[in-house]
Amino acid sequence: MNCWAILGIERTSDTTLIRKAYKQKLLVHHPEDDPAGYQTVRAAYTAAMNEAKRAARSAHANNDANPYAPADTEAETAEDADVGADRLSDFINRLEDASEQDEAYEGEARPVVQRRYFAAETQDKIQAVNDFMTRLMRLYNDHNQRNDLEAWKELLNDDVLWDLQSKSVIKDRMLQFFSQQHNLNDDIWKLIEAHTALFDTITKNSNKYPARFVDTYALATQKIAVSGSRKQDAVSKSTIIKTPDVSWWKYCFYMPISWIILAIIGSFIVIPIYLLTVFIRIVLFVKMRNWKIIMREYTFTYSNSWGIRSHFKYIDILKVVQKHNIVIVYLKRKRIRIKADRVEHINYLLAKMSRYGTTDGNAINMRESVSR
């Protein structure tokens, strides 16, 4: 296998150039779309990096005039120790290459060397993941750089995210961290999603993470309309909080039998009173018909008695209080009162909103919404 031909570059000891070539090839041979091609590119990348490192070590050894001379200082002693370690690592790499070419080799040294090599490689990956998470947490906790897009770009362009195993571990640790602390602007969330695709993991395990974090991330990274447009999530009848349907004719024009008798007898006051009653009931019916709450996955729409709509996110809710048969939903600049005994699906509403806070007696205390 000619690793350089597969990567499309000339033989070099420049590891940065090799990484760039590897990244370009991954755009063509994605692990999910072309597993075989990815394995070939990955093997070529590993071989090229090993060869470049061996070349660098060899050059370092050739430039050392007398590597076996006694050290005069502590610094020279440490340097010689590093050179010795490099030579030993070089020897192990050459031994591995030789063992792969010699299919008839059945000695006991090969599995021992492989175990040591892969153990060292695993340790390097763990260290790289820990370093990445340390940088991420330091960046988040720095209030001056927390919403600095360029700083996040530099972090997310780290080579560790090109290793699938390391990336999987990093995604899990990022979700653990952000589920507790998620005060970032939308541009940062979109950048994180572009590099890590966290949303797929979140949707598969949405109950595992706090609802407020799930909604914050989804609203920032997905095209979810908050306004009343046709792009809103589909809703079912069970997610609409409203008064039960009634017959408009029966509700507005219903006339008690006693009124009918009085009208037949000829009471002149019955007809005006009846007409006034019909007008009032028509107004009430219109108000009753228009009032409703339409609940969606991340947002809900509130229509008042006159049909005027307001659109909210669940993360905008501050508190939900239930007093006797009245449920009051407190938002940032609005309050919604619901007569629980006169509407349908009120339990669905309370169950949905309780995911965003903790129950305290008859109140659901919501954490303050994340500032955007």
Same domain membership, residue 287 and residue 319? yes
Count of CA atoms in the C-beta half-sphere (13 A) of 283: 5
**pLDDT recorded at residue 43:** 84
Chain mean position to CA 68: 55
What pLDDT, on a 0 to 100 scale, did the predictor assign at position 364?
63
- Final residue belonging to a domain, choices 191, 221, 251: 221
pLDDT reported for residue 248: 75
pLDDT value of residue 90? 52
Boundary-marking domain end, from 194, 221, 248: 221
Would you say residue 7 lies in a domain? yes
**Domain for residue 72, yes or no?**
no
| Of 85, 82, 104, nearest in space to 93 by CA | 85
Select from 159, 190, 221 the last residue of a domain: 221
**Distance in angstroms (rounded) separating the CA atoms of residues 110 and 361:** 67
The pLDDT value given to residue 102: 40
By the 8 A CB rule, do 179 and 171 touch?
no
Considering its fold, how many domains does the chain have in total?
A: 3
Residue 118 in any domain: the answer is no
Task: Determine the structural domain holding residue 281 and report its residue range.
Answer: 237-366
- Whether 192 and 253 map to the same domain: the answer is no
User: Does some domain include residue 135?
Assistant: no
Residues of the chain with pLDDT under 50: 65-89, 91-92, 94-118, 228-232, 368-372
| Same domain? 274 vs 205 | no
Judge whether 214 and 240 are in contact, CB under 8 Å: no
